[in-house]
Structure 1
Amino acid sequence: MSSESLQPTGAPSRRTVIAAAGAAGLGVALTACGSEDGSSSSGSGGNSAGGTVLAKTSEIPEGGGKIFKDRAVVVTQPSSGQFKAFSAKCTHQGCLVGSVANGVIHCPCHNSEFSVEDGSVKQGPATQPLPAQKINVKGDSIELA
């Protein structure tokens, strides 16, 4: 006879109780990852009036880019002084892209490649471009809008 058949009607199963305890522990662990003031920060700065500062323009290589995993965004510099941003989640199966170099954003999961210029697919299996993200360049700072 299983232990679940001995429970009073309406009581949660042992499996439900264990799953809930695990989820609560995960919530505590994720909360602990924030900064001391309770907010989470990313990149090279914090918040400003226009948005979250992701990086300095000098940190984004020309023809390449930088991935901000905690914000799931990739910032590129297709040509000198021109900055673009895209979702860092591959449109094939949602993996985070892994590298940016030589004009290409590369996803390591299934080798999809996207253009640093416009996020368009250069090589599948992805069939949809990376969605554009809004950024603002103020002086030497790049902010996520």
Structure 2
Amino acid sequence: MIEGATRRTVLATGAAAVAAPVVACGGNADGDTGGDLGKTSDIPEGGGKIFKDQKVVVTQPSEGDFKAFSAICTHLGCTVNTVAGGTIDCPCHGSKFHIADGSVAHGPATRPLPKKSITVKGNSIRLA
């Protein structure tokens, strides 16, 4: 064991080292990191939908205006779980983010949700 290190520190460091290569893998054989998320009709006007596998939330603040943000809360990294009442909500500590721009509506988060790139073609939404 490393002098001054606790068992927890050593285990956490080892787990991070093992997990890092797995996290680095992504995309498909063609190098395309995007993917179909769904149809525009899946996203309610004034609301949104969370795509857990892609860690993305897509919102439609007004008719035909689609936005996408990371589904990972900027407070402590929990995955948001609800889009309601004009906000994207995190279950862990109560942070809420505006559906129009991802900005913080209610803390403890202090940073907005990072924007994600999507393309809307016809009635299809695709992660860019």
Same fold (TM over 0.5): yes
Q: Number of matched residues?
A: 104
Correspondent of 1:70 among 44, 47, 53? 53
Structure 1 portions without partners, runs of 5+: 1-15, 28-38, 40-48
Q: Scaled by the length of structure 2, what TM-score is found? A: 0.75
Could you tell me which residue of structure 1 aligns to residue 85 of structure 2? 102
Cα distance, 1:51 vs. partner?
3.5
8 A Cα contact 1:50 1:143, kept in partner: no
Q: Scaled by the length of structure 1, what TM-score is found? A: 0.66
Q: Does 1:117 align with 2:119?
A: no
Structure 2 portions without partners, runs of 5+: 1-10, 23-27
Q: Does 1:88 align with 2:71?
A: yes
Correspondent of 1:139 among 103, 108, 122? 122
CA–CA distance in 2 between the matches of 1:128 and 1:63?
A: 22
CA–CA distance in 1 between the matches of 2:33 and 2:106?
A: 35
Letter in 2 for 1:106: D
8 A Cα contact 1:65 1:75, kept in partner: yes
Percent identity at matched positions? 64
Higher relative contact order (CA 8 A, sep 6+): 2
SS state of the match for residue 53, structure 2? helix
8 A Cα contact 1:57 1:142, kept in partner: yes
| Residues 20-65 of structure 1, C-alpha deviations (whole Å, 9 max, x = no match) | xxx8xxx8xxxxxxxxxxx7xxxxxxxxx89411010000001110
SS state of the match for residue 53, structure 1? strand
Please list every run of at least 4 consecutive aligned residues from structure 1 whose deviation after the TM superposition is greater than 4 angstroms.
none
Could you tell me which residue of structure 2 aligns to residue 53 of structure 1? 36
CA–CA distance in 1 between the matches of 2:108 and 2:84?
A: 19
- Bigger Rg over Cα: 1
